Amino acid sequence: MPGSKQSLAEGKSEVARLRCQIEAEYIAMQRGLYGLALGRARHQVIAFHLRRADRLCAQLAHYVGEKAALQTLCQLYDEALNQEVSDALSSSHPRC
């Protein structure tokens, strides 16, 4: 079927786009956590980005299934958290 290859490519493209958006939400959440916002404003920023990541995860589940979408969500969160820690360590302890 000629249309199936195109549909498959579009699905892969949409999965990649959703992964990038989820990653961007986690990066924004990390910036909200460590940025200039204080107290309630900080909580609102983090909660906003977590809700958006959750909605994107639901969209991702349409393409890869709920289990794979949740695994992706956790993986991207872990990567964002590890990157933030790595960045913090490298800036406070410069390499020689």
Contact 77, 29 (CB under 8 A): no
Specify the DSSP class assigned to residue 93.
S
For 32-86, the pLDDT digits (tens) are 777 766 677 788 888 999 999 999 999 999 999 999 999 999 999 999 888 765 6
The amino acid that residue 4 corresponds to is S
Ramachandran region, residue 65 (left: φ > 0; alpha: ψ -120 to 50; beta: rest): left
Res 43: pLDDT:
85
Compare 23 and 6 and report the one with higher pLDDT: 23
